[in-house]
């Protein structure tokens, strides 16, 4: 079992990320167990997929939350890929899903994820982190609280500091 961070706790979780084939074909979705399908696959097959509660949708950095819109509110899991930790598009995706489209389920970051971006990710609405396998997950979890005070409005603390100080 792989270990991931959920709500600041380290838990065991294996949830495959299903990618669209090079020919554009959608992979078969396992009959049971938490799994993430790509946004295009979800949009194409949502009638059958939404029937079960353990199918999540994953976003690539260029995917637009607008495509899913308010439907996000009905999902239990969404994941966002960070191919490189320096690709900050996923931060905007997280905030849009949480703040504009009412997503309240688990928001998971995967890819180039390690200690040093967890604080920002958490503030953009992520509460689950698939830390890179070669990184120390016990140390990484501490990164969520690198900062405990913030100037801006963000997920978790919508009131900017100037409305609280």
Residues of this chain that bind another protein (CB under 8 A)? 85-89, 91-92, 95, 100, 114, 116-117, 119-121, 123-124, 136, 146-154, 158-163, 165
| CA distance to 14, 50, 143, 145, per residue, from 150 (Å) | 33, 37, 15, 11
CB of 45 to another protein, least distance (A): 26
Pick 46 or 89: Cβ nearer another protein: 89
Q: In angstroms, what is the minimal distance from the CB of 38 to another protein?
A: 19
The least distance separating another protein from the CB of residue 71, rounded to whole angstroms, comes to 17
Q: Which is nearer to another protein, 14 or 116 (CB)?
A: 116
Q: Which is nearer to another protein, 70 or 116 (CB)?
A: 116
For residue 76, the minimal CB distance to another protein (Å) is: 24
């Amino acid at each position: 079992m792989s270990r991931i961070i959920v709500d600041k706790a380290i838990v065991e979780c294996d949830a495959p990320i299903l990618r669209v084939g090079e020919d554009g074909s959608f992979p078969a979705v396992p009959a049971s167990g938490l799994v993430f399908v790509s946004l295009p696959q979800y949009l194409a097959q949502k009638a059958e997929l939404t029937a079960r509660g353990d199918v999540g949708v994953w976003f690539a950095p260029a995917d637009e939350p607008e495509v899913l819109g308010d439907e996000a509110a009905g999902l239990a899991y969404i994941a966002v890929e960070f191919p490189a930790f320096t690709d900050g598009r996923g931060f905007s995706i997280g905030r849009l899903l949480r703040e504009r489209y009412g997503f309240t389920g688990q928001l998971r970051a995967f890819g180039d994820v390690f200690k040093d971006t967890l604080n920002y990710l958490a503030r953009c609405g992520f509460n689950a982190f698939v830390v890179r396998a070669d990184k120390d997950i016990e140390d990484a979890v501490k990164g969520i609280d690198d900062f405990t005070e913030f100037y801006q409005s963000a997920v978790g603390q919508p009131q900017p500091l100037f409305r609280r100080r």
